[in-house]
Chain A
Amino acid sequence: MSALLKLTDVHSFYGKIEALKGISLEVRQGEIVALLGSNGAGKSTTLKTISGLVRPGSGDIQLEGKSLVGWSPHRIVEEGIVHVPEGRRIFAGLTVHENLELGGFTQRKEKAVIAEGIELAYALFPRLKERSRQLGGTLSGGEQQMLAICRGLMARPKLLMLDEPSMGLAPIIVQEIMEIIRKINGQGTTILLIEQNAKAALRLAHRGYVLETGQIVMENTAEVLRGDESIVKAYLGA
């Protein structure tokens, strides 16, 4: 399997604070890769650096062999990487339908593609269809997360990056979201997943990386990570 996304020795900073201290990782075509680690380890920063919200101080980020360093975020979306951020960031004052349309902004030249994407989203989550004329802010947390994922899919990404999609949701909703992620992956979208809930993430993922204070301290198949005592202690107990 070839690498879809490849990070090589990436360093990222917030002012003088070095949040990423040389991250190297790769995500292969068709995989679900989990990015684990405790609070403040640098997981979100890794995604922000890939999606161009944070510019790396040094290191390389390649999608299918093409370097994306220094690109503005909208160009990176056009290239096929979509980042569904922490906290979902639904447009509260826009309708569910409008939120989805904006997710398809990069497809704006082809109205049919946007319409088709919205139909797919409604098929995936019929509850969104019922609420299509409601304002995004009126949805429950679970519904907002579903909307955020669907909005991300509207751009037809090669790589979908999800930052803690289960945050703050009831266990039953978490399970539903995890199933959907599996389904999306089954339909051919590669996924990079951040989760606090490492147990749930490793049930889903093919491989995983463990981050600690801006460095990768472990990488392996999900199976091995699930069996690793120290990981279970540090991250699976939660």
Chain B
Amino acid sequence: MDILVQTLADGLVIGAFYSLIALGYTMVFGIIKLLNFAHGDLYMLGAFVGYTLLSLLSGSGTGAGLMGIVVVLLLTMVIVGLIGMGIERVAYRPLLLAPRLSILITALGVSLFLENGSMIAWGAQYQVYPLQLSHDGWNVLGAQITYTQMGLVLISALLMLGLHQFISRTLYGKAMRAIAHDQTACHLMGIDVHKVIGLTFFIGASLAAGAGTMAGAYYGTVNFMMGFIIGLKAFTAAVLGGIGSIPGAMLGGLLLGMMETAGTFVFGGSWKDVVAFSLLILILVLRPTGIMGEKVTERM
């Protein structure tokens, strides 16, 4: 019992990170049908920007209180969100009408650029996050659940709730869903389609960056390649949930996190990635539309 609860709790934290990253994957795919392979690197960038901001904060002697951490998180999300928007503007927008392969290859190029740029900026070694999170917690049915874990899951849940409200309530959120259906019709409604696509990149990048900062604090170290595997995992989560589906990405991330943690427990830690990617292959073979995905209809 204690093991089951522990697995659930640990899996939920990792799953929340996967969900946050998968959301950007799925939103960008939904709106411009691009698998943005540079998306995992925005998570890495979020971890590093958070790292630098926290270093500045603790360097100034004030220390990073709870307020400080929240401000750093939000500031990181805005900065990386703007970078995500810039990437769309510079790298992807000129290719929106080009064959799909060109934009996919560009995404790989952007990924390499971000990874190597970060290596130059922050070094190739692992950096220790300038933040110590509490290891205290509650004993639930024999399992140890830390306040940190609860806090991270709570922040992730709030971010996803905010996104859900935005998508379902605001006119720009509705425009995002509409563009995923029919871009030409959106032009004819007077919607500035490029602006909405830019906004989608902003939101996707900032959610990934939020996950990056939280993961940096949770695991304690960051590295310029940390976005690579987790980007593929988030892609798996998005496919599991049904690529293009926002609730699907949230669900897919959580499920993947828990299955992976359970798999680690059963097979051992070295099998973690095998479990995740076997799952990806299974879904692609058995149910390519994922849990909540619809059949992708080609728009004209």
Contact = CB atoms under 8 A, between A and B. Distances in A.
Nearest to B188: A83
Interface stretch (A95-103, A121-129, A185-193, A221-229): A95-103
A102 B181 contact: no
12 contacts: A53-B184, A72-B187, A77-B189, A82-B188, A89-B182, A93-B177, A93-B181, A94-B177, A94-B178, A98-B178, A102-B171, A105-B190
A102 B191 contact: yes
B187 A53 contact: yes
B216 to A, nearest CB: 37
Interface residues of A, number: 27
Contacts of B182: 89, 91
A52 B181 CA distance: 20
Interface of B: 171, 174-175, 177-178, 181-182, 184-193
B184 A101 contact: no
A106 B187 CA distance: 11
Given A74-B193, A93-B181, A101 B188 contact: no
A102 B189 contact: yes
A77 B191 CA distance: 9
B37 to A, nearest CB: 26
Given A89-B182, A93-B181, A105 B188 contact: no
B189 A105 contact: yes
Nearest to B297: A92
A232 B186 CA distance: 37
A107 to B, nearest CB: 9
Contacts of B185: 85, 89-91
Given A101-B171, A105-B189, A155-B189, A91 B178 contact: yes
Given A73-B188, A102-B174, A102-B178, 14 more contacts: A51-B187, A74-B191, A78-B190, A83-B188, A91-B178, A98-B174, A101-B171, A102-B171, A102-B189, A103-B189, A105-B190, A105-B191, A151-B189, A155-B189
Contacts of B171: 101-102, 105, 108
Nearest to A84: B188
Contacts of A73: 187-188, 190
A150 to B, nearest CB: 12
Which 7 A/B pairs are nearest by Cβ-Cβ distance?
A: A77-B190, A106-B190, A73-B187, A89-B185, A74-B192, A74-B190, A91-B181
B293 to A, nearest CB: 12
A188 B188 CA distance: 21
